[in-house]
Protein backbone atom coordinates (compact mmCIF):
# COMPACT_ATOMS: atom_id res chain seq x y z
CA UNK A 1 0.00 0.00 0.00
CA UNK A 2 1.27 3.46 -0.84
CA UNK A 3 1.94 5.56 2.21
CA UNK A 4 0.28 8.94 2.49
CA UNK A 5 2.06 12.12 3.49
CA UNK A 6 0.84 15.03 5.56
CA UNK A 7 0.91 18.51 4.00
CA UNK A 8 4.12 19.31 5.88
CA UNK A 9 6.07 16.15 5.03
CA UNK A 10 8.98 17.97 3.36
CA UNK A 11 9.16 20.47 6.21
CA UNK A 12 9.63 17.58 8.66
CA UNK A 13 12.38 16.20 6.43
CA UNK A 14 14.12 19.58 6.46
CA UNK A 15 13.84 19.60 10.26
CA UNK A 16 15.81 16.33 10.27
CA UNK A 17 12.94 14.15 11.44
CA UNK A 18 13.29 10.41 11.37
CA UNK A 19 10.23 9.44 9.33
CA UNK A 20 8.49 6.09 9.81
CA UNK A 21 5.38 4.44 8.42
CA UNK A 22 2.51 4.78 10.89
CA UNK A 23 -1.17 4.08 10.26
CA UNK A 24 -0.66 4.34 6.50
CA UNK A 25 1.23 7.65 6.70
CA UNK A 26 4.88 8.64 6.65
CA UNK A 27 5.11 10.36 10.02
CA UNK A 28 7.86 12.02 12.08
CA UNK A 29 8.98 9.56 14.80
CA UNK A 30 11.51 11.91 16.37
CA UNK A 31 13.43 15.04 15.46
CA UNK A 32 16.27 14.88 18.01
CA UNK A 33 15.68 12.79 21.13
CA UNK A 34 12.53 11.15 22.49
CA UNK A 35 13.31 12.24 26.06
CA UNK A 36 14.16 15.80 25.08
CA UNK A 37 10.94 16.11 23.07
CA UNK A 38 8.93 14.56 25.91
CA UNK A 39 10.35 17.04 28.42
CA UNK A 40 9.76 20.01 26.13
CA UNK A 41 6.04 19.19 26.22
CA UNK A 42 5.95 18.62 29.99
CA UNK A 43 7.88 21.80 30.75
CA UNK A 44 7.47 24.22 27.85
CA UNK A 45 5.71 23.82 24.52
CA UNK A 46 5.99 21.29 21.72
CA UNK A 47 4.09 20.82 18.47
CA UNK A 48 3.02 17.53 16.90
CA UNK A 49 1.87 17.25 13.31
CA UNK A 50 -0.97 14.79 13.75
CA UNK A 51 -2.61 15.53 10.41
CA UNK A 52 -2.95 11.81 9.80
CA UNK A 53 -5.97 11.83 12.13
CA UNK A 54 -9.35 11.61 10.39
CA UNK A 55 -12.08 14.25 10.44
CA UNK A 56 -15.72 13.67 9.48
CA UNK A 57 -18.42 16.35 9.39
CA UNK A 58 -21.85 15.06 10.36
CA UNK A 59 -24.72 17.45 9.67
CA UNK A 60 -28.43 17.81 9.09
CA UNK A 61 -31.48 17.26 11.24
CA UNK A 62 -30.51 13.59 11.74
CA UNK A 63 -26.90 14.24 12.80
CA UNK A 64 -27.62 13.85 16.49
CA UNK A 65 -29.70 10.70 15.98
CA UNK A 66 -26.88 9.06 13.99
CA UNK A 67 -24.19 9.97 16.51
CA UNK A 68 -26.35 8.81 19.42
CA UNK A 69 -26.75 5.47 17.67
CA UNK A 70 -23.07 4.85 16.84
CA UNK A 71 -21.25 6.36 19.84
CA UNK A 72 -21.28 5.25 23.48
CA UNK A 73 -21.24 8.67 25.18
CA UNK A 74 -24.35 10.87 25.39
CA UNK A 75 -24.08 13.37 22.53
CA UNK A 76 -27.25 15.12 23.75
CA UNK A 77 -25.22 16.40 26.70
CA UNK A 78 -22.98 18.40 24.33
CA UNK A 79 -23.56 22.10 23.76
CA UNK A 80 -22.05 24.29 21.04
CA UNK A 81 -18.33 24.73 21.69
CA UNK A 82 -17.90 21.53 23.71
CA UNK A 83 -16.00 18.37 22.89
CA UNK A 84 -16.73 14.84 24.07
CA UNK A 85 -14.48 11.77 24.24
CA UNK A 86 -16.37 8.71 23.08
CA UNK A 87 -16.09 5.37 21.33
CA UNK A 88 -17.83 3.43 18.57
CA UNK A 89 -18.92 0.11 20.10
CA UNK A 90 -19.26 -2.81 17.69
CA UNK A 91 -22.01 -5.44 17.91
CA UNK A 92 -19.70 -8.11 19.41
CA UNK A 93 -18.72 -6.32 22.60
CA UNK A 94 -15.58 -4.65 21.22
CA UNK A 95 -14.64 -1.18 19.99
CA UNK A 96 -14.52 0.00 16.35
CA UNK A 97 -12.55 3.11 17.38
CA UNK A 98 -12.27 5.81 20.01
CA UNK A 99 -12.93 9.38 18.92
CA UNK A 100 -13.71 12.99 19.75
CA UNK A 101 -17.10 14.52 18.97
CA UNK A 102 -17.33 18.32 18.57
CA UNK A 103 -20.69 20.09 18.53
CA UNK A 104 -20.38 22.95 16.02
CA UNK A 105 -24.13 23.63 16.00
CA UNK A 106 -27.34 21.85 16.90
CA UNK A 107 -27.32 20.15 13.51
CA UNK A 108 -23.58 20.02 12.82
CA UNK A 109 -20.87 17.91 14.46
CA UNK A 110 -17.20 17.27 13.80
CA UNK A 111 -15.89 13.79 14.54
CA UNK A 112 -12.16 13.08 14.91
CA UNK A 113 -10.96 9.50 14.54
CA UNK A 114 -7.72 7.51 14.47
CA UNK A 115 -5.80 7.52 11.19
CA UNK A 116 -5.57 3.74 11.08
CA UNK A 117 -9.36 3.50 11.26
CA UNK A 118 -10.52 6.24 8.87
CA UNK A 119 -11.91 3.84 6.25
CA UNK A 120 -13.28 1.40 8.81
CA UNK A 121 -15.03 4.17 10.77
CA UNK A 122 -16.39 5.83 7.64
CA UNK A 123 -17.89 2.53 6.47
CA UNK A 124 -19.21 1.72 9.94
CA UNK A 125 -20.90 5.09 10.47
CA UNK A 126 -22.25 5.20 6.89
CA UNK A 127 -23.64 1.69 7.27
CA UNK A 128 -25.66 2.77 10.32
CA UNK A 129 -26.87 6.01 8.76
CA UNK A 130 -30.37 4.74 7.99
CA UNK A 131 -31.70 8.05 9.35
CA UNK A 132 -30.06 10.03 6.54
CA UNK A 133 -27.60 12.41 8.19
CA UNK A 134 -25.16 14.15 5.85
CA UNK A 135 -21.62 12.79 6.14
CA UNK A 136 -18.47 14.37 4.74
CA UNK A 137 -14.97 12.95 5.05
CA UNK A 138 -12.62 15.96 5.34
CA UNK A 139 -9.56 13.95 6.45
CA UNK A 140 -7.50 14.57 3.32
CA UNK A 141 -8.10 18.32 3.38
CA UNK A 142 -7.43 18.89 7.07
CA UNK A 143 -4.19 19.33 8.98
CA UNK A 144 -4.07 18.99 12.76
CA UNK A 145 -1.36 20.39 15.00
CA UNK A 146 -1.27 19.53 18.68
CA UNK A 147 0.36 22.46 20.48
CA UNK A 148 0.97 21.03 23.94
CA UNK A 149 2.58 22.07 27.20
CA UNK A 150 2.33 24.84 29.81
CA UNK A 151 3.58 27.46 27.32
CA UNK A 152 1.07 26.52 24.61
CA UNK A 153 -1.36 29.16 25.85
CA UNK A 154 0.98 32.19 25.65
CA UNK A 155 2.32 30.89 22.34
CA UNK A 156 -1.04 30.62 20.60
CA UNK A 157 -2.49 33.71 22.28
CA UNK A 158 0.02 35.80 20.32
CA UNK A 159 -1.65 34.59 17.12
CA UNK A 160 -5.34 35.09 17.88
CA UNK A 161 -7.86 37.37 19.56
CA UNK A 162 -9.86 34.36 20.74
CA UNK A 163 -9.74 34.41 24.57
CA UNK A 164 -7.81 31.16 25.02
CA UNK A 165 -7.16 31.53 28.76
CA UNK A 166 -10.90 31.33 29.42
CA UNK A 167 -11.28 27.99 27.68
CA UNK A 168 -12.16 24.93 29.72
CA UNK A 169 -10.62 21.54 29.00
CA UNK A 170 -12.64 19.84 26.23
CA UNK A 171 -14.04 23.05 24.79
CA UNK A 172 -13.21 24.74 21.48
CA UNK A 173 -13.54 28.03 19.64
CA UNK A 174 -13.56 28.88 15.95
CA UNK A 175 -11.93 32.03 14.67
CA UNK A 176 -8.93 33.68 13.13
CA UNK A 177 -5.47 32.35 14.01
CA UNK A 178 -2.23 33.46 12.35
CA UNK A 179 -4.35 35.46 9.91
CA UNK A 180 -6.29 32.41 8.76
CA UNK A 181 -10.07 32.38 9.25
CA UNK A 182 -12.26 29.55 10.50
CA UNK A 183 -9.59 27.73 12.51
CA UNK A 184 -10.85 25.31 15.18
CA UNK A 185 -8.83 25.82 18.36
CA UNK A 186 -9.60 22.99 20.75
CA UNK A 187 -8.51 22.74 24.40
CA UNK A 188 -7.77 19.03 24.09
CA UNK A 189 -4.73 16.81 23.74
CA UNK A 190 -3.17 13.44 24.32
CA UNK A 191 -0.34 14.44 26.64
CA UNK A 192 -1.77 15.63 29.97
CA UNK A 193 0.46 18.69 29.65
CA UNK A 194 -2.31 21.13 28.74
CA UNK A 195 -2.50 23.00 25.47
CA UNK A 196 -4.52 23.02 22.32
CA UNK A 197 -5.21 21.16 19.11
CA UNK A 198 -5.57 23.32 16.02
CA UNK A 199 -7.46 22.18 12.90
CA UNK A 200 -6.23 23.89 9.76
CA UNK A 201 -7.19 23.53 6.08
CA UNK A 202 -4.18 21.98 4.27
CA UNK A 203 -3.59 25.04 2.10
CA UNK A 204 -2.83 27.09 5.22
CA UNK A 205 -0.91 24.38 7.09
CA UNK A 206 2.56 25.75 6.44
CA UNK A 207 1.56 29.34 7.28
CA UNK A 208 0.03 28.33 10.59
CA UNK A 209 2.87 25.93 11.54
CA UNK A 210 5.49 28.61 10.89
CA UNK A 211 3.52 31.27 12.77
CA UNK A 212 3.22 28.93 15.78
CA UNK A 213 6.98 28.34 15.78
CA UNK A 214 7.70 32.07 15.50
CA UNK A 215 5.31 32.80 18.36
CA UNK A 216 6.78 30.03 20.51
CA UNK A 217 10.46 30.80 19.87
CA UNK A 218 10.70 32.78 23.12
CA UNK A 219 9.45 29.71 24.99
CA UNK A 220 11.85 27.27 23.32
CA UNK A 221 9.16 25.66 21.17
CA UNK A 222 10.17 22.41 19.44
CA UNK A 223 8.63 19.94 17.00
CA UNK A 224 7.78 16.63 18.70
CA UNK A 225 7.50 13.20 17.12
CA UNK A 226 5.25 10.20 17.60
CA UNK A 227 7.69 8.48 19.97
CA UNK A 228 7.31 11.24 22.58
CA UNK A 229 3.59 11.40 21.87
CA UNK A 230 3.44 7.77 22.97
CA UNK A 231 5.51 8.24 26.15
CA UNK A 232 3.42 11.31 27.06
CA UNK A 233 0.08 9.51 26.63
CA UNK A 234 1.45 6.48 28.48
CA UNK A 235 2.31 8.61 31.53
CA UNK A 236 -1.36 9.68 31.56
CA UNK A 237 -2.61 6.12 31.12
CA UNK A 238 -4.55 7.12 27.98
CA UNK A 239 -5.59 4.23 25.74
CA UNK A 240 -4.12 3.83 22.27
CA UNK A 241 -6.41 2.15 19.76
CA UNK A 242 -4.77 -0.97 18.34
CA UNK A 243 -2.75 -1.49 21.54
CA UNK A 244 -4.95 -1.10 24.61
CA UNK A 245 -8.35 -1.18 22.94
CA UNK A 246 -9.48 -2.85 19.72
CA UNK A 247 -12.31 -4.76 18.05
CA UNK A 248 -12.19 -7.40 20.81
CA UNK A 249 -11.87 -5.29 23.98
CA UNK A 250 -14.88 -4.12 25.96
CA UNK A 251 -15.07 -0.40 26.75
CA UNK A 252 -16.05 -1.39 30.28
CA UNK A 253 -12.98 -3.58 30.76
CA UNK A 254 -10.84 -0.81 29.26
CA UNK A 255 -11.95 1.58 31.99
CA UNK A 256 -14.13 3.54 29.57
CA UNK A 257 -17.33 3.00 31.56
CA UNK A 258 -17.40 6.78 32.10
CA UNK A 259 -18.05 7.29 28.37
CA UNK A 260 -20.53 4.40 28.13
CA UNK A 261 -23.95 5.88 28.90
CA UNK A 262 -26.83 3.44 29.28
CA UNK A 263 -29.24 6.37 29.67
CA UNK A 264 -29.47 6.33 25.83
CA UNK A 265 -29.63 3.63 23.17
CA UNK A 266 -26.61 2.75 21.02
CA UNK A 267 -25.12 -0.20 19.16
CA UNK A 268 -24.70 -3.13 21.57
CA UNK A 269 -25.91 -1.13 24.58
CA UNK A 270 -27.82 -4.24 25.69
CA UNK A 271 -24.77 -6.48 25.45
CA UNK A 272 -22.56 -4.06 27.37
CA UNK A 273 -25.24 -3.52 29.99
CA UNK A 274 -25.45 -7.26 30.55
CA UNK A 275 -21.68 -7.42 30.86
CA UNK A 276 -21.76 -4.65 33.45
CA UNK A 277 -24.51 -6.37 35.45
CA UNK A 278 -22.78 -9.76 35.32
CA UNK A 279 -19.51 -8.22 36.48
CA UNK A 280 -16.28 -7.84 34.54
CA UNK A 281 -13.79 -10.68 34.19
CA UNK A 282 -10.78 -8.51 33.54
CA UNK A 283 -9.70 -4.91 33.66
CA UNK A 284 -7.11 -2.72 31.99
CA UNK A 285 -4.66 -1.63 34.69
CA UNK A 286 -1.60 0.57 34.88
CA UNK A 287 1.49 -0.92 36.50
CA UNK A 288 4.76 0.60 37.57
CA UNK A 289 7.97 -1.43 37.48
CA UNK A 290 9.32 -1.88 41.00
CA UNK A 291 12.50 -3.55 39.72
CA UNK A 292 14.57 -2.42 36.76
CA UNK A 293 12.87 -3.39 33.53
CA UNK A 294 10.84 -1.89 30.71
CA UNK A 295 7.55 -3.58 29.83
CA UNK A 296 6.77 -3.85 26.12
CA UNK A 297 3.60 -4.66 24.20
CA UNK A 298 2.81 -8.44 24.19
CA UNK A 299 5.07 -9.33 27.16
CA UNK A 300 3.38 -11.75 29.57
CA UNK A 301 2.02 -10.55 32.90
CA UNK A 302 2.60 -13.16 35.63
CA UNK A 303 1.12 -13.53 39.09
CA UNK A 304 3.29 -14.39 42.11
CA UNK A 305 3.21 -18.07 41.03
CA UNK A 306 4.53 -17.22 37.57
CA UNK A 307 1.20 -18.10 35.97
CA UNK A 308 0.31 -16.00 32.93
CA UNK A 309 -2.59 -13.73 33.95
CA UNK A 310 -2.51 -11.29 31.03
CA UNK A 311 -0.38 -9.46 28.51
CA UNK A 312 1.13 -6.00 28.33
CA UNK A 313 -0.79 -3.85 25.82
CA UNK A 314 1.50 -0.79 26.02
CA UNK A 315 4.75 -0.19 27.83
CA UNK A 316 7.67 2.19 27.93
CA UNK A 317 10.23 3.83 30.13
CA UNK A 318 8.60 6.91 31.70
CA UNK A 319 10.93 9.85 31.09
CA UNK A 320 9.32 11.75 33.99
CA UNK A 321 9.48 8.93 36.56
CA UNK A 322 12.63 7.24 35.30
CA UNK A 323 10.87 3.88 35.69
CA UNK A 324 9.16 1.40 33.43
CA UNK A 325 5.36 1.82 33.12
CA UNK A 326 2.78 -0.28 31.35
CA UNK A 327 -0.86 -1.04 30.68
CA UNK A 328 -2.41 -4.48 30.39
CA UNK A 329 -5.51 -6.54 31.07
CA UNK A 330 -5.54 -8.68 34.23
CA UNK A 331 -8.30 -10.61 36.06
CA UNK A 332 -10.33 -8.16 38.17
CA UNK A 333 -9.07 -9.85 41.36
CA UNK A 334 -5.58 -8.58 40.46
CA UNK A 335 -6.66 -5.10 39.35
CA UNK A 336 -6.54 -3.31 42.71
CA UNK A 337 -3.84 -0.66 43.19
CA UNK A 338 -1.01 -2.11 45.25
CA UNK A 339 -1.34 -5.61 43.76
CA UNK A 340 2.02 -7.16 42.99
CA UNK A 341 2.49 -8.45 39.44
CA UNK A 342 5.49 -9.69 37.51
CA UNK A 343 6.39 -8.96 33.92
CA UNK A 344 8.11 -11.71 31.97
CA UNK A 345 11.14 -9.90 30.59
CA UNK A 346 13.42 -12.32 28.76
CA UNK A 347 12.05 -15.22 30.83
CA UNK A 348 12.71 -13.51 34.15
CA UNK A 349 9.94 -12.33 36.50
CA UNK A 350 10.49 -8.60 37.04
CA UNK A 351 8.41 -7.12 39.84
CA UNK A 352 5.72 -4.52 39.13
CA UNK A 353 2.85 -3.01 41.08
CA UNK A 354 -0.65 -2.01 39.99
CA UNK A 355 -1.07 1.75 40.45
CA UNK A 356 -3.88 4.22 40.05
CA UNK A 357 -3.76 6.17 36.79
CA UNK A 358 -2.39 8.57 35.71
CA UNK A 359 1.20 7.57 36.38
CA UNK A 360 2.19 11.24 36.38
CA UNK A 361 -0.13 13.77 38.02
CA UNK A 362 -1.29 16.57 35.74
CA UNK B 1 22.42 -6.12 17.16
CA UNK B 2 18.99 -6.95 15.92
CA UNK B 3 16.41 -4.23 16.05
CA UNK B 4 13.30 -5.72 17.62
CA UNK B 5 10.75 -3.17 16.70
CA UNK B 6 7.07 -3.08 17.56
CA UNK B 7 4.50 -2.43 14.86
CA UNK B 8 4.58 1.32 14.83
CA UNK B 9 8.28 1.27 14.87
CA UNK B 10 8.99 -0.23 11.47
CA UNK B 11 12.10 1.61 10.58
CA UNK B 12 12.75 3.36 7.36
CA UNK B 13 16.35 2.70 6.48
CA UNK B 14 16.48 5.14 3.61
CA UNK B 15 16.90 8.23 5.77
CA UNK B 16 19.81 10.49 5.07
CA UNK B 17 21.02 11.27 8.55
CA UNK B 18 24.60 12.27 9.27
CA UNK B 19 26.36 9.35 10.87
CA UNK B 20 29.83 8.04 11.26
CA UNK B 21 31.36 4.66 10.31
CA UNK B 22 35.04 4.79 11.35
CA UNK B 23 37.28 3.02 8.85
CA UNK B 24 39.57 1.46 11.50
CA UNK B 25 36.73 -0.67 12.97
CA UNK B 26 35.13 -3.95 11.89
CA UNK B 27 31.36 -4.39 11.84
CA UNK B 28 28.65 -7.03 12.07
CA UNK B 29 25.49 -7.03 9.98
CA UNK B 30 23.67 -6.77 13.33
CA UNK B 31 25.16 -3.29 13.90
CA UNK B 32 27.94 -4.02 16.39
CA UNK B 33 31.45 -2.66 15.90
CA UNK B 34 34.70 -4.27 17.06
CA UNK B 35 38.19 -2.91 17.58
CA UNK B 36 41.21 -5.16 18.26
CA UNK B 37 43.58 -4.11 21.04
CA UNK B 38 46.13 -6.96 21.04
CA UNK B 39 44.21 -10.15 21.85
CA UNK B 40 41.31 -8.24 23.29
CA UNK B 41 38.43 -6.89 21.24
CA UNK B 42 36.42 -3.87 22.32
CA UNK B 43 32.77 -4.12 21.22
CA UNK B 44 29.98 -1.59 20.98
CA UNK B 45 27.05 -0.65 18.77
CA UNK B 46 27.25 1.59 15.75
CA UNK B 47 26.18 5.19 15.41
CA UNK B 48 23.44 4.01 13.04
CA UNK B 49 22.18 1.54 15.64
CA UNK B 50 22.02 4.06 18.48
CA UNK B 51 20.16 6.44 16.17
CA UNK B 52 17.60 3.77 15.34
CA UNK B 53 17.09 2.89 19.00
CA UNK B 54 16.77 6.42 20.36
CA UNK B 55 17.49 7.33 23.98
CA UNK B 56 19.10 4.38 25.72
CA UNK B 57 17.91 3.68 29.29
CA UNK B 58 20.22 0.83 30.27
CA UNK B 59 22.44 -1.93 28.96
CA UNK B 60 22.18 -5.39 30.48
CA UNK B 61 25.13 -7.77 30.14
CA UNK B 62 24.98 -10.98 32.22
CA UNK B 63 27.65 -12.89 30.33
CA UNK B 64 30.88 -11.59 31.89
CA UNK B 65 33.19 -14.59 32.40
CA UNK B 66 31.32 -16.67 29.87
CA UNK B 67 32.47 -17.84 26.48
CA UNK B 68 30.01 -16.81 23.81
CA UNK B 69 30.01 -17.83 20.15
CA UNK B 70 29.90 -15.36 17.30
CA UNK B 71 26.30 -14.46 16.50
CA UNK B 72 24.99 -15.39 19.96
CA UNK B 73 23.39 -12.93 22.36
CA UNK B 74 25.70 -11.43 24.99
CA UNK B 75 23.40 -8.71 26.31
CA UNK B 76 20.47 -6.38 25.71
CA UNK B 77 19.99 -2.69 25.08
CA UNK B 78 16.85 -1.07 26.50
CA UNK B 79 15.92 2.26 24.92
CA UNK B 80 12.88 4.34 25.85
CA UNK B 81 10.83 3.10 22.92
CA UNK B 82 12.34 -0.26 22.05
CA UNK B 83 14.65 -3.08 23.04
CA UNK B 84 17.33 -4.94 21.15
CA UNK B 85 19.66 -7.90 21.72
CA UNK B 86 23.41 -7.55 21.44
CA UNK B 87 25.25 -10.18 19.36
CA UNK B 88 28.87 -11.30 19.66
CA UNK B 89 30.98 -10.31 16.65
CA UNK B 90 33.49 -13.17 17.31
CA UNK B 91 33.87 -16.32 19.41
CA UNK B 92 35.38 -15.35 22.73
CA UNK B 93 35.20 -14.82 26.46
CA UNK B 94 33.41 -11.72 27.74
CA UNK B 95 36.06 -10.18 30.00
CA UNK B 96 34.50 -6.93 31.08
CA UNK B 97 31.31 -4.90 30.84
CA UNK B 98 31.65 -1.11 30.77
CA UNK B 99 30.16 -0.38 34.22
CA UNK B 100 30.26 3.38 33.51
CA UNK B 101 27.21 2.74 31.35
CA UNK B 102 25.15 1.93 34.48
CA UNK B 103 25.36 5.63 35.34
CA UNK B 104 25.75 6.97 31.80
CA UNK B 105 23.75 4.83 29.36
CA UNK B 106 23.45 7.96 27.19
CA UNK B 107 27.16 7.62 26.34
CA UNK B 108 26.12 4.88 23.91
CA UNK B 109 24.05 7.54 22.14
CA UNK B 110 26.57 10.37 22.33
CA UNK B 111 29.86 8.45 21.87
CA UNK B 112 29.04 5.01 20.50
CA UNK B 113 32.67 4.39 19.39
CA UNK B 114 34.29 5.94 22.47
CA UNK B 115 33.06 6.12 26.05
CA UNK B 116 29.99 4.18 24.98
CA UNK B 117 31.87 0.89 24.34
CA UNK B 118 29.98 -2.04 25.85
CA UNK B 119 32.20 -5.11 26.43
CA UNK B 120 35.78 -6.31 26.10
CA UNK B 121 36.23 -9.81 24.73
CA UNK B 122 39.19 -12.22 24.67
CA UNK B 123 38.99 -13.42 21.09
CA UNK B 124 39.22 -17.18 20.53
CA UNK B 125 41.30 -18.39 17.60
CA UNK B 126 39.63 -18.79 14.28
CA UNK B 127 38.34 -16.57 11.51
CA UNK B 128 35.87 -13.83 12.21
CA UNK B 129 33.43 -12.99 9.47
CA UNK B 130 33.16 -9.23 9.81
CA UNK B 131 32.43 -6.28 7.56
CA UNK B 132 34.72 -3.40 6.64
CA UNK B 133 33.43 0.12 7.14
CA UNK B 134 32.66 0.35 3.40
CA UNK B 135 30.74 -2.93 3.48
CA UNK B 136 28.83 -1.87 6.58
CA UNK B 137 28.05 1.48 5.00
CA UNK B 138 26.63 -0.32 1.96
CA UNK B 139 24.55 -2.54 4.25
CA UNK B 140 22.83 0.42 5.87
CA UNK B 141 22.53 2.27 2.58
CA UNK B 142 25.09 5.02 3.18
Min distance A346 CA to chain B CA atoms (Å): 10
A22–chain B Cβ distance below 8 A for any pair: yes
Q: Is the pLDDT at B12 greater than 50, yes or no? A: no
A230–B76: do the CB atoms touch at under 8 Å?
no
B14–chain A Cβ distance below 8 A for any pair: no
Per-residue pLDDT at B127: 67
Q: What average pLDDT does the segment A220-237 reach?
A: 98
- The fold for domain A281-362 equals Elongation Factor Tu (Ef-tu); domain 3 (2.40.30)
Residue of B nearest to A324 (CA): B80
Per-residue pLDDT at B129: 84
* CATH 3.30.1360.120 placement within chain A: 4-51+140-235
**Nearest CB to B58: which of A20, A26, A292?**
A292
Q: What average pLDDT does the segment A95-106 reach?
A: 98
CATH number for the domain that contains residue B63 = 2.40.50.100
For residue A269, whether the previous peptide bond is cis, meaning omega lies within 30 degrees of 0, is no
Q: What average pLDDT does the segment A112-123 reach?
A: 98
Evaluate whether residue B50 is within a structural domain: yes
* CATH 2.40.30.110 placement within chain A: 281-362
Note whether ipTM > 0.85 here. yes
Q: What average pLDDT does the segment A239-249 reach?
A: 98
Min distance A12 CA to chain B CA atoms (Å): 12
B58–chain A Cβ distance below 8 A for any pair: yes
Min distance B126 CA to chain A CA atoms (Å): 31
pTM, to two decimals: 0.94
How many domains, in total, are found in chain B? 1
Q: What average pLDDT does the segment B103-110 reach?
A: 97
pLDDT digits (tens, 9 = 90+) for B56-66: 999 999 999 99
Partners of A226 on chain B (C-beta within 8 Å) are 8
Evaluate whether residue B61 is within a structural domain: yes
Evaluate whether residue B13 is within a structural domain: no
Evaluate whether residue B49 is within a structural domain: yes
Per-residue pLDDT at A359: 98
Evaluate whether residue B128 is within a structural domain: yes
Give the percent of chain A with pLDDT over 70. Answer: 100
A227–B17: do the CB atoms touch at under 8 Å?
no
Q: What average pLDDT does the segment A200-223 reach?
A: 98
Question: What band does B126 get if pLDDT is binned at 50, 70 and 90?
Answer: low
Partners of B77 on chain A (C-beta within 8 Å) are none
Q: What average pLDDT does the segment A24-46 reach?
A: 97
pLDDT digits (tens, 9 = 90+) for A141-200: 999 999 999 999 999 999 999 999 999 999 999 999 999 999 999 999 999 999 999 999
Per-residue pLDDT at A362: 81
B11–A20: do the CB atoms touch at under 8 Å?
yes
Q: Is the pLDDT at A361 greater than 70, yes or no? A: yes
Q: What average pLDDT does the segment A13-37 reach?
A: 96
A3–chain B Cβ distance below 8 A for any pair: no
B12–A296: do the CB atoms touch at under 8 Å?
no
pLDDT digits (tens, 9 = 90+) for B16-51: 345 789 999 999 999 999 999 988 999 999 999 999
B80–A231: do the CB atoms touch at under 8 Å?
yes
B57–chain A Cβ distance below 8 A for any pair: yes
Per-residue pLDDT at B7: 36
Map chain A to HEC letters.
CCCEECCCHHHHHHCCCEEEEECCEEEEEECCCHHHHHHHHHHCCEEEECCCCEEEEEECCCHHHHHHHHCCCCHHHCCCCEEEEEEEECCCCCEEEEEEEEEEECCEEEEEECHHHHHHHHHHHHHCCCCCCEEEECHHHEEEEEEECCCHHHHHHCCCCCCHHHCCCCEEEEEEECCEEEEEEECCCCCCCCEEEEEEEHHHHHHHHHHHHHHHHHHCCEECCHHHHHHHHHHHCCCCECCCECCCCCCCCCCCHHHCCCCCCCCCHHHHHHHHHHCCCEEEEEEEECCCCCCCCCCEEECCCCCEEEEEEEEEEECCCCEEEEEEEEEHHHCCCCCEEEEEECCEEEEEEEECCCCCCC
Question: What band does A2 get if pLDDT is binned at 50, 70 and 90?
Answer: confident
Average pLDDT, chain B: 88
Q: Is the pLDDT at B5 greater than 70, yes or no? A: no
Give the percent of chain B with pLDDT over 70. Answer: 86
Question: What band does A253 get if pLDDT is binned at 50, 70 and 90?
Answer: very high
Residue of B nearest to A298 (CA): B6
Domain of residue B84, residue span: 19-140
Per-residue pLDDT at B30: 94
Give the percent of chain B with pLDDT over 90. Answer: 79
Evaluate whether residue B8 is within a structural domain: no
**Nearest CB to B55: which of A16, A22, A34?**
A34
Q: Is the pLDDT at A302 greater than 60, yes or no? A: yes
Evaluate whether residue B67 is within a structural domain: yes
pLDDT digits (tens, 9 = 90+) for A303-320: 999 999 999 999 999 999
CB within 8 Å of chain B, chain A residues 239-268: 242
Residues near A147 by Cβ (< 8 Å), separated by ≥ 6?
A45, A46, A47, A155, A156, A195, A196, A197, A198, A212, A216
Name the CATH code of domain A4-51+140-235 (choices 3.30.1360.120, 3.40.190.10, 3.40.50.1000, 1.10.3720.10).
3.30.1360.120
B80–A317: do the CB atoms touch at under 8 Å?
yes
Q: Which of A24, A29, A320 to mutate to test the interface with B (most CBs of B within 10 A)?
A: A29
A33–B12: do the CB atoms touch at under 8 Å?
no
Min distance B138 CA to chain A CA atoms (Å): 20
pLDDT digits (tens, 9 = 90+) for A276-288: 999 999 999 999 9
Partners of A30 on chain B (C-beta within 8 Å) are 54
Per-residue pLDDT at B18: 57
Q: What average pLDDT does the segment A42-46 reach?
A: 98
Amino acid sequence: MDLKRTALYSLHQQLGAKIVPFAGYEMPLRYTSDVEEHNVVRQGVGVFDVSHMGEFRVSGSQALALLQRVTSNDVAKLIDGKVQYSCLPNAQGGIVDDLLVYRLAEDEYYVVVNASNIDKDWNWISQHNSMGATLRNESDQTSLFAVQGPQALPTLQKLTDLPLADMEYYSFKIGQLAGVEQIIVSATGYTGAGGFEVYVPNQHAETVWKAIFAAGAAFGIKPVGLAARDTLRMEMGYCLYGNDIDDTTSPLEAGLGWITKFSKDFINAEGLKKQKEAGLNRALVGFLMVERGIPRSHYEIWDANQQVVGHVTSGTQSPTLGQGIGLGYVPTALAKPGTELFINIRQKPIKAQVVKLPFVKK
Amino acid sequence: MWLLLPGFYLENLTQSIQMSIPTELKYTKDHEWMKMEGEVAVVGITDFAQGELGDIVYIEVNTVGETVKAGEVFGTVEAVKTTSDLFMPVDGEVLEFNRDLDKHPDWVNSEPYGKGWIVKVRVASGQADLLSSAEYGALIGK
